[in-house]
């Protein structure tokens, strides 16, 4: 299981998320508290962020190194300042290649996407059915071999088919499609996801016939006023701890005004 993080709010330096919290994403890479598969996240990492001063596509920085071994990241994280950021540390599913093509976040135009979870026996179950569901443009855009990128492909396919479709609806439809396919091909999956267009965050905590990984959120938490953070595990604890567990089988969306809405998935 990987660990993921999404931030939306007032612009801050990325080091405030990666290094300052007592249980930061870097600490979660080598000392996670709530992983259900594996003990370390050593198979690479990635960060993605938006520059709100212009309309350019988001930026990403990825590596196949464990996040604590990357000597460039401490300096880079002091330089990057943004109001919308995603972070991810990877624990690769056995059989999935360790290369940059399989490192998250995945990007398509203005969208960034990260996934914590798996599709059980992916290559033998839903690999081809998912590819059969997407149009040629999306099919050709898939560069890696992970189940995560193929889930993203389903979302992109929905958004291309219905350009005015909200991210929440596209994610909802994708999860229902995965559920139908998992039933048909007698497999299971878990899908804790975060997707962003730079203005909003949309996340899911969802699983079919599998354990549901943890997902938490906090608004205006310690040292992060005017912000919402979504993460696999709380970044900080103590008397100011106000993290809330996202309900199982639900969507969480954070709007531009930082309003948090939670929708149950049936």
How confident is the model at residue 38, as a pLDDT? 66
pLDDT digits (tens, 9 = 90+) for 224-261: 889 999 999 999 876 456 899 999 999 999 999 999 99
Residue 192 to residue 54: CA distance in whole angstroms? 30
Mean per-residue pLDDT of the chain = 92
At 4, give phi and psi (nearest 5°).
-135, 165
CA distances 215 to 12, 67, 245, Å, are 22, 21, 6
For residue 145, pLDDT over 90 is answered with yes
Domain ranges of the chain: 3-116+195-264
Q: Would the pLDDT of 264 be above 70?
A: yes
Q: How high is the pLDDT of residue 98?
A: 74
d(C-alpha 211, C-alpha 252), whole Å: 19
SS (HEC) of the chain:
CCEEEEEEEEEEECHHHHCCCCCCHHHHHHCCCCCCCCCCCCCCEEEEECCCCCCCCCEEEEECCCHHHCCCHHHHHHHCEEEEEEEEECCCCCCCCCCHHHCCCEEECCEEEEEEEEECCHHHCCHHHHHHHCCHHHHHHCCCCCHHHHHHHHHHHHHHHCCCCCHHHHHHHHHHHHHHHHHHCCCCEEEEEEEECCCCEEEEECEECCCCCCCEEEECCCCCCCEEEEECCCCCCCCCCCCEECCCCEEEEECCCCCEEEEECC
**Predicted TM-score (pTM) of this structure:** 0.94
| Residue 20 burial by Cβ neighbours in a 10 Å radius (0-12, 13-18, 19+) | middle
pLDDT value of residue 94: 65
Beta bridge partners of 196: 112, 201
pLDDT band at 56 (very low <50, low <70, confident <90, very high): confident
> pLDDT band at 223, cuts 50/70/90?
confident
Catalytic residues: 2
Structure tokens belonging to residue 101: 């093509």
| pLDDT for the residue numbered 243 | 93
C-beta separation of 60 from 46 below 8 A: yes
Question: What is the per-residue pLDDT for 39?
Answer: 72
Give the pLDDT confidence score for residue 240 in this predicted structure. 54
Q: From the centroid of its chain, how far is CA 22?
A: 21
Q: Which residue has the higher pLDDT, 12 or 55?
A: 12
Check residue 95 and give its pLDDT.
64
Side-chain-side CA neighbours of residue 22 (13 Å): 7
Which band of pLDDT confidence, cut at 50, 70 and 90, is reported for residue 143?
very high
Tell me yes or no: is domain 3-116+195-264 CATH 3.60.20.10: yes
Per residue in 77-135, pLDDT tens?
Answer: 999 999 999 999 987 766 666 789 999 999 999 999 999 999 999 999 999 999 999 99
């Amino acid at each position: 299981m990987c660990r993921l993080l999404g931030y939306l709010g007032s612009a801050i330096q990325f080091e405030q998320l990666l290094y300052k919290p007592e249980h930061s994403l870097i600490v979660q890479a080598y000392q996670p508290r709530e992983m259900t598969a594996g003990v370390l996240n050593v198979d690479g990492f990635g960060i993605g962020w938006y520059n709100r001063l212009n309309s350019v596509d988001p930026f990403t920085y990825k590596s196949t190194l464990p996040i604590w071994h990357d000597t460039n990241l401490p300096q880079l994280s002091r330089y990057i300042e943004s109001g919308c950021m995603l972070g991810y540390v990877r624990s690769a599913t056995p059989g999935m290649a360790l290369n940059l093509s399989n490192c998250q976040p995945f990007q398509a135009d203005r969208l960034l996407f990260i996934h914590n979870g798996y599709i059980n026996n992916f290559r033998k179950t839903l690999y081809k059915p998912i590819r059969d569901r997407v149009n040629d443009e999306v099919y050709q855009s898939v560069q890696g071999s992970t189940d995560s990128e193929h889930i993203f492909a389903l979302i992109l396919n929905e958004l291309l088919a219905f350009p005015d479709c909200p991210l929440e609806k596209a994610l909802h439809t994708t999860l229902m499609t995965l559920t139908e396919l998992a039933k048909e091909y007698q497999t299971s999956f878990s899908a804790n996801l975060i997707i962003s267009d730079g203005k909003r965050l949309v996340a899911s905590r969802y699983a079919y016939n599998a354990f549901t990984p943890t997902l938490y959120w906090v608004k205006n938490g310690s040292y992060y006023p005017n912000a919402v953070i979504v993460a696999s595990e709380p970044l900080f604890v103590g008397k100011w701890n106000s993290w809330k567990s996202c309900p199982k089988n639900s969507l969480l969306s954070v709007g531009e005004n930082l309003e948090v809405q939670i929708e149950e998935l049936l």
